[in-house]
Amino acid sequence: MSRKIKLIWDFRGQDAARIAEHHEIHLKEFIAIEKFPMDITGFEIVNELYAIAYMVVTDENMIQVRDALKPHRGEVYS
């Protein structure tokens, strides 16, 4: 079984939560268009000025998604 990678986009400022929530919509659209087998996405509000949006991909899809969507960082998803 392949390793899962959580690709993360960071948003900062007063509108961070709203932007992260909206960014997740675009991640879901990308998954539908590209017909990816995994559809794990989400957003998290870290504090009032910092939020993230994320998408989980497999090792096989990571390069393709990274090059297309330019996440800020990634980590192994467990």
Q: What is the mean pLDDT of each run of 10 residues along the chain (78 residues)?
A: 93 98 97 92 98 96 95 95
Residue 37's pLDDT is what? 85
Residue 38's pLDDT is what? 87
- Whether residue 26 contacts residue 69, with contact meaning beta carbons closer than 8 Å, is answered with no
pTM for the complete prediction? 0.93
Distance of CA 34 to the CA centre of its chain: 15
As a whole number of Å, the end-to-end CA separation of the chain is 13
Residue 76 to residue 78: CA distance in whole angstroms: 6
Residue 6's pLDDT is what? 98
